[in-house]
Structure 1
Amino acid sequence: MAAVYKYLQRSLASCAPLLIIMLVFEIIPLTSSGTNGRVLRTEHAGNERYPFDINLKSHKMDRRRPVDLKMTTSLPKRHVPVVKAQTRSRAILHCNISEIDEQENVTLIWSKKNDKNEFVNITILQMEELTDKITTCVENDKRFIAKRNGTDWCLHIRYTMNSDAGIYQCQIRHGFPPTKYSTTNVVLRLIDAHAKIIGGDTKYIPKNKEMPLRLSCVLIHSIEPPKYIFWYRGDRMINYDLEDGATVREGPQGSELIFPKPNEMHVGNYSCVPSNAQLDSVMVKYGSKDKLVKVIKKETNCSECLDNTSKLFCLNRF
């Protein structure tokens, strides 16, 4: 027992200088001549910025840059994909989720955030309703179609409208019972393109001059080519019913209606109607601005034909 006591006494005596040094550094604050005697403490207080950083790997002080506690504690933001599409066209929202067992009970829920910042369900579908070959329409709005393509549980929106823009959420519940959740958000931005007939809203066919009449229509703010561009005279589509040598030249972002020998029989209201953009119209008159020949035949507006044509040709092509 006496030997153990002597061994402990010698050990404490050899460690005494080290204990004294540690006690001094614990009680006396650390000062630096490079900071004009200002006290530098290692304990953090609030969001205060200190003139040195602690390198955890080497346990050394790094005076090259300050520490920003806001930067070190902030979490990286989750990336939200953005889908851009045109109105009167089609938008596809993708939801790629692969960590799902085919044997599990799977439920797909697509929802859209409303004005109250709440997600409202668009459709709720079960696994047996979603296969690679089957598309399921939403009961409330037939423009919305849910479709599965492998690991992509996508939502198709046909003949898009401005009100369709916003934040959508894809949620897949799976398991027995379905307690596992996989959620993906996507932002839909819609661009409203419009047609423009070059040269103003009125064209004149000069008398006693054989000059061709060209009605040139271009698309403004368009991000995708239209499926068609139809020309209307009044409420009648004339692309496939042209007379007197008239022709239509089409391009990826425009169309041109050409009358090589126009006369007073060609007067009327002409409209350029793209599949995915607002129409534009021009009035063709005969004679000069001072002397105009009255048009006997009454021409109608083409707003109704745009709506009917777009629904007939755009929706049925999905």
Structure 2
Amino acid sequence: MLRLLIFLAPLTGLALTVPQGVRKEGVDSEEMKYGGIESGQSASDATRASLASLWSYSTVTEDRYDHAVHGDQHDLLPYFQDYENTTNITAQLGSTAYLNCRINRLRDKTVSWVRRDGDEIKLLTWGLHTYSNDARFSLNFEHPNNWKLQIKYTQRRDQGNYECQISTHPPKVLPVRLNIVAPVVEIIDERGASVHEKFYKTGSTIELKCTISQMPQAQTFILWRHGDHMLNYDTSRGGISVKTDMSSSVIVSTLFIANAAPSDSGNYTCSLGDVATGSVFVHVLNGEHPAAMQHGSGTKDLCSLALVLLLSSLTTLLHLR
């Protein structure tokens, strides 16, 4: 009996020193794994050594598991999803421009937009908040990960370099170049040359052709005006029609006015909203003036008409003498 008590005493001390919540069989297995109690160690020292070994083993195991699942720590940082597809944006003058910034694994980092002009940097947005004094700028977040900068009513001065930044150390930066283009609107003659003046005779059909090019955003609504009067939906006069052709990269809009009268004379404009406008001055004349009645005539026809009138006047003066 005495021998049994002497044998159990060290084990009892070992059991009493095991912290609450650690199962004895776990310690026993670690002792077996790491060689048990060494010579000269007390039971409590052996227990602490075994627990330290157990903690070290479990930490190494967790690190290996985390590396196997998530990869290196560098791979856990945020990154831009489509870096190559968002670095050059073209927007039409007067339209709304969107600068995309899709970010994966953002976690607790913050996204900001800045405008860079040489060495000068201007903060536009920070997180979901806008810091620009220009109300046209705002952060338009698109689920799930697009921190999109929105610029309304784009102006020529908006063209330049922007950056989407992530608050890592050092910051990750996505540079974006915004280009602003203005459509080119021209009224042309039958030969395709730009014209600023046309002549028609009474009773003929006025035909004005307008071309719109350099449009990054397709639009079909072209507005025709005679002075301040809009013609697209004019039903009071009658005989007015507009045909728009988008079969090519250049939009062509043609205005037809049947049975022209002197009251149809004046300035005609073809416009794409408030962005771009082309204009032509139309003369509707009574009588026969062949030099001025050619469709598609311009300044040359006006000069020809003036020359005819001048020669006629000189001939009349010579006869009077």
Give the alignment's TM-score, normalised by structure 2.
Answer: 0.55
Rounded Cα–Cα distance in structure 2 between residues aligned with 1:85 and 1:202: 32
Post-superposition offset of 1:139 = 5.4
1:138, CA displacement in angstroms?
A: 6.3
Query: Does the 8 Å CA contact 2:231/2:240 hold for their aligned counterparts?
Result: no
Structure with the higher fraction of residues in helix conformation: 2
Aligned residue pairs, count: 195
What corresponds to 1:275 in structure 2?
273
Contact 1:193 1:276 in 2 (8 A): no
- Counterpart of 2:158? 164
Contact 2:92 2:216 in 1 (8 A): yes
**Is 1:144 matched with 2:142?**
no
- Secondary structure of the 2:102 match is coil
Distance 2:234 2:207 in 1: 17
Match of 1:260 in 2: 258
1:173 and 2:167 matched:
yes
Q: Which amino acid aligns with 1:107?
A: T
For 1:195, the equivalent position in structure 2 comes to 185
Amino acid at match of 2:153: Y
1:92 matched to 2:110? no
Tell me, in whole angstroms, the C-alpha distance in 1 between the residues paired with 2:159 and 2:210: 27
Q: Which residue of 2 is the match for residue 117 of structure 1?
A: 119
* Cα distance in 1 for residues equivalent to 2:131 and 2:207: 45
* Code of the aligned partner of 1:267: S
2:135 alignment partner, SS class = coil
| Corresponding residue SS for 2:253 | strand
CA–CA separation in structure 2 for the residues paired with 1:232 and 1:263: 17
Question: How far off its partner does 1:182 sit?
Answer: 3.3
RMSD of Structure 2 on Structure 1 (CA): 2.5
Matching of residues 270-309 of structure 1 within 5 Å: 270-275=268-273, 277-287=275-285, 288=292, 289=302, 290=305
Residues 1:218 and 2:211 aligned together: yes
Q: Is the 8 A contact 1:111 1:120 kept in 2?
A: yes
Per-residue CA distance 1:274-298 (angstroms, 9 max, x = gap): 037421111111224438xxxxxxx
Alpha-carbon distance in 2 for matches of 1:254, 1:223: 16
State the distance in 2 between where 1:226 and 1:258 align. Answer: 21
Q: Which residue is 2:199 aligned to?
A: 204
Q: TM-score, normalised by structure 1?
A: 0.55
Give the structure 2 partner of residue 231 of structure 1: 224
Distance 1:271 1:195 in 2: 10
Whether the 8 Å contact between 1:195 and 1:277 is mirrored in structure 2 is no
In structure 2, the CA distance between the partners of 1:139 and 1:119, relative to structure 1 (3 Å rule), is closer
1:3-152 map, 5 Å: 81-101=87-107, 104=108, 106-114=109-117, 116-126=118-128, 140-149=133-142, 150-152=144-146
CA distance in 2, matches of 1:140, 1:173: 23
Cα displacement (A) at 1:238: 2.5
- In 2: Cα distance, 1:138 partner to 1:256 partner: 46
- Aligned equivalent of 1:250: 244
Contact preservation (8 Å) 1:82, 1:186? yes
Which amino acid is 2:262 matched to?
E
In the alignment, residue 195 of structure 1 is paired with which amino acid? V
Partner of 1:53: none
- Give the residue type in structure 2 aligned to 1:188: L
C-alpha displacement of 1:140: 1.8
Paired-residue identity, %: 27
Instruction: Look up the SS of the partner of 1:282 in the other structure.
Output: strand
CA distance in 2, matches of 1:219, 1:227: 10
For the residues of structure 1 that align with 2:119 and 2:171, how far apart are their CA atoms?
A: 21
